[in-house]
Structure 1
């Protein structure tokens, strides 16, 4: 099944678009455009695979955002002379043949892509590359989805297993890149031809309304610009406060490739002539969060077992997790009796998004208070997050579970009530998402059990676990490894 806007003329270079539906900061597109010349359209292929989305636990709201953006992208691509062929395929196993057929139809001598780094995507691309080269079609991979591709190693040639030295090496690599090449491919590709817009085919996959999130490359880029210009300064001081609107909410756009991380670098570079040095605290801490994203991508590339549900720290795979379907269900539904946990889970259900600090709190609670396998939470997040990124999600869950590289030490067990008091001191975040506590006074909002009992209220549950007892249970289980 396909919807095609055929290319004409003698175009030689084609493009296979994946998580990179953008005209700006797209090195694969820039390379294909340069080879074809401004007068010729650029043949480009998009493959949609519902089976793969299901296997990779794509959230319905994530798919809805991508699908809405795709409708915008076909219009901007047509105006830029990109002749799209959009095809729905049954599985990634047929991707090599689909790309080969596309190359034959368009009489291509080269196919350009932006490299993807997870294990299954690497294997898929190797198969496509091999089949194309058998037909005499060259394969060119460009590093358009990370600022620093997975090339960093320690002085002894091993991968970085700790974030701090990785971040130091990452910043040094960026300094060298900026010094040698400047910012790459930041402007949209200029074309002097137009083609008809491709028709986006229907896809059989569940959808959840994502209309609260903008789509279209210009709108997304403007959101990035606005955040850097107006709000990033306060990021360091306010990033842990979920009741305030202080985070960029750009993570879905990086995950789906509507933005490239280089575009964030471009905006931050305008804040300091010595970038990436001499940034104020807010922008510098925000940049550090981008480096965390790339750190987890590097780990996923270099440590294949992470792609198979294994812990980074091998001995922790022997952890004896409890089986408690009822407690897990109550965690999923935001009915644990711990308001900050329940607020986060209800926000996730409603918005497909959760504040990063609250993600850490609810993850710690599932693993260390309920003693439930971190993989349960990892999968649940992926099935509901609009920004669900396998490397970042896996890294975050393993950090919280003390099973990952550079993870929180096992004896660091978040007290959900103290965390609540710290990150939501006035209870505004809790009241927004836990409607049963809308009238609960500030002094009781973080632990409302007694307040509810005194009023004979049963509309909000009592805590499902005693934190002190649960903490000792987790520590004993971890020490037994």
Structure 2
């Protein structure tokens, strides 16, 4: 009998255990991908993210065809229609087993439960794997049998599990041709925004990874917080759509140390820690379904009285707050669909703590604009910045945006790149240009808030809620 591989956020042929199992156990393998347009809209998929996935799907279709696998893409309304759509395909093509890799937020888990029930009614087996993580959520437990709520001990336990992986060799297989694969994709049902700056297809993505490992990872720890330099891997969008597996990344890093995951130089070790952060947030989503419902992880902070300040929120969205480093970050996001990670922390902290605006509004704005929008990572990062999440930055730590700017963009290169009104402002004024601008008007906006007063407002508000 034939098999179906149900692709989701795992659009790759290497280090994909669901695909490997199907191809090793069946002569005929079909590949399916579903586009649940209303669910994607409800999940705030950014048009630039849709475009990147669609471009990669075209390359991926050819990659599968080269392996002898036909690829079918179906547009459906919602997640809830997944099971019936795939079961109908299975009956038509005499398929008795569906293979897929697990996803961990609540809606995805519910989708798979519904699909399994539908498959069981039609005598179709459903096998799930953990190809999107190095370590599945059930494998990392505290001594008490629960999950880790703080990252540092999680990272230690996670690395212990990674060290148990003895074979980093990818599977090799080819199946008999199943169906002719047309080169045309169906019409994309959702809005798209140009993502051409991101190459797609396995060869280009692996080239990007190789370039980073060979030429940049050594400097990663030292340079990753400088937004004006090319100091990060820029692999996050590929992680999100599963065009590259965490196992592929781990294999590349393992070549740098015989004691892997230990013994790495500081740059590579720090990058592996970022992979661990990604998995930490995925595990949290799995263990705490309420995070998928927009709840604060720290339940005692659920009643925070956020400001209803639409004008301030819009100014933040548009990069018109009068705080140059904040505005530069938001303009980079709006123009490119990506923002440097240090800036993500700065602008999130500003929205929540300077403007006292609900972190969920910022979380949604990010998802609607980020090419690499990952629900678990985005949710975790925003809750961290808002001091309401697990392992949260203490609530009394409020970033001073001017100090952050001076520390991480000392010469103002990043600010000038994104705020054209400040292009000619001297470096000594660039982080807080407002006195200088009284004599040299450029059209740059005045600050919408006094940071010192805003900080006190946030601290007193948070303290009241905490002390309840």
What TM-score range do you get, normalising by the shorter chain?
over 0.9
Residue 28 of structure 1 is matched in structure 2 by 18
**Aligned: 1:299 with 2:321:** no
**Aligned: 1:174 with 2:162:** yes
Q: CA deviation at 1:134?
A: 2.2
Residue 235 of structure 2 is matched in structure 1 by 250
Residue 185 of structure 2 is matched in structure 1 by 200
Alignment of 1:150-169 (within 5 A): 150-151=137-138, 152-169=140-157
Other structure's SS at 1:278 match? coil
Q: Given that residues 236 and 285 in structure 1 are in contact (C-alpha distance below 8 angstroms), is that contact kept between their aligned partners in structure 2?
A: yes
Q: CA deviation at 1:191?
A: 3.8
Residue 3 of structure 1 is matched in structure 2 by none
Q: CA deviation at 1:276?
A: 0.6
- CA distances 1:74-107 after superposition (whole Å, capped 9, x unpaired): 1111111112221111222211110111111121
Q: Which runs of 4+ in 1 moved over 3 A?
A: 191-195
TM-score (norm 1): 0.95
Q: Given that residues 421 and 442 in structure 2 are in contact (C-alpha distance below 8 angstroms), is that contact kept between their aligned partners in structure 1?
A: no
Alignment of 1:299-338 (within 5 A): 299-338=284-323
Q: Distance in 2 between matches of 1:19 and 1:217?
A: 15
Residue 118 of structure 2 is matched in structure 1 by 131
Other structure's SS at 1:177 match? coil
Alignment of 1:448-463 (within 5 A): 448-455=433-440, 457=441, 459-463=443-447
Q: Given that residues 24 and 189 in structure 1 are in contact (C-alpha distance below 8 angstroms), is that contact kept between their aligned partners in structure 2?
A: no
Q: Distance in 1 between matches of 2:271 and 2:71?
A: 35
1:307–1:127: structure 2 CA closer, same or farther, 3 Å change rule? Answer: same
2:349 to 345, 358, 364: 364
Q: CA deviation at 1:328?
A: 0.3
Q: Distance in 2 between matches of 1:88 and 1:377?
A: 29
Residue 95 of structure 2 is matched in structure 1 by 108
- CA distances 1:185-225 after superposition (whole Å, capped 9, x unpaired): x2554345475323311022111100000101121111111
Q: Given that residues 312 and 403 in structure 1 are in contact (C-alpha distance below 8 angstroms), is that contact kept between their aligned partners in structure 2?
A: yes
1:226–1:187: structure 2 CA closer, same or farther, 3 Å change rule? Answer: farther
Q: Distance in 2 between matches of 1:354 and 1:32?
A: 38
Q: Distance in 2 between matches of 1:94 and 1:192?
A: 30
Q: Given that residues 133 and 246 in structure 2 are in contact (C-alpha distance below 8 angstroms), is that contact kept between their aligned partners in structure 1?
A: yes
Residue 68 of structure 2 is matched in structure 1 by 81
Residue 5 of structure 1 is matched in structure 2 by none
User: When the two structures are aligned, how many residues end up with a matched partner?
Assistant: 463
Q: Distance in 2 between matches of 1:171 and 1:93?
A: 36
Residue 6 of structure 1 is matched in structure 2 by none
RMSD over aligned CA atoms reads: 1.2
Q: Distance in 1 between matches of 2:85 and 2:433?
A: 58
Q: CA deviation at 1:464?
A: 0.9
Q: Distance in 1 between matches of 2:327 and 2:366?
A: 14
**Aligned: 1:409 with 2:394:** yes
Q: Distance in 2 between matches of 1:183 and 1:103?
A: 33
**Aligned: 1:468 with 2:468:** no
Residue 4 of structure 1 is matched in structure 2 by none
**Aligned: 1:264 with 2:249:** yes
Other structure's SS at 2:137 match? coil
Q: Given that residues 296 and 383 in structure 2 are in contact (C-alpha distance below 8 angstroms), is that contact kept between their aligned partners in structure 1?
A: yes
Residue 133 of structure 2 is matched in structure 1 by 146
TM-score (norm 2): 0.97
1:192–1:99: structure 2 CA closer, same or farther, 3 Å change rule? Answer: closer
Other structure's SS at 2:279 match? helix
Residue 462 of structure 2 is matched in structure 1 by 478
Other structure's SS at 2:399 match? coil
**Aligned: 1:347 with 2:328:** no
Q: CA deviation at 1:112?
A: 0.6
Q: Given that residues 422 and 442 in structure 2 are in contact (C-alpha distance below 8 angstroms), is that contact kept between their aligned partners in structure 1?
A: no
Q: Distance in 1 between matches of 2:198 and 2:306?
A: 37
Q: Distance in 2 between matches of 1:418 and 1:161?
A: 30
Task: Name structure 1 gaps, 5 residues minimum.
Answer: 1-10
- CA distances 1:397-418 after superposition (whole Å, capped 9, x unpaired): 0000000000000000000000
Q: CA deviation at 1:13?
A: 2.0
Q: CA deviation at 1:229?
A: 1.2
**Aligned: 1:55 with 2:42:** yes
Residue 443 of structure 1 is matched in structure 2 by 428
Residue 261 of structure 2 is matched in structure 1 by 276
Q: Given that residues 78 and 194 in structure 1 are in contact (C-alpha distance below 8 angstroms), is that contact kept between their aligned partners in structure 2?
A: no
Q: Given that residues 80 and 194 in structure 1 are in contact (C-alpha distance below 8 angstroms), is that contact kept between their aligned partners in structure 2?
A: no
Q: CA deviation at 1:117?
A: 1.1
Bigger mean CA deviation after superposition, 374-383 or 214-223: 214-223
Q: CA deviation at 1:315?
A: 1.0
Bigger mean CA deviation after superposition, 82-91 or 319-328: 82-91
Q: Given that residues 12 and 35 in structure 1 are in contact (C-alpha distance below 8 angstroms), is that contact kept between their aligned partners in structure 2?
A: no
Task: Name structure 2 gaps, 5 residues minimum.
Answer: none
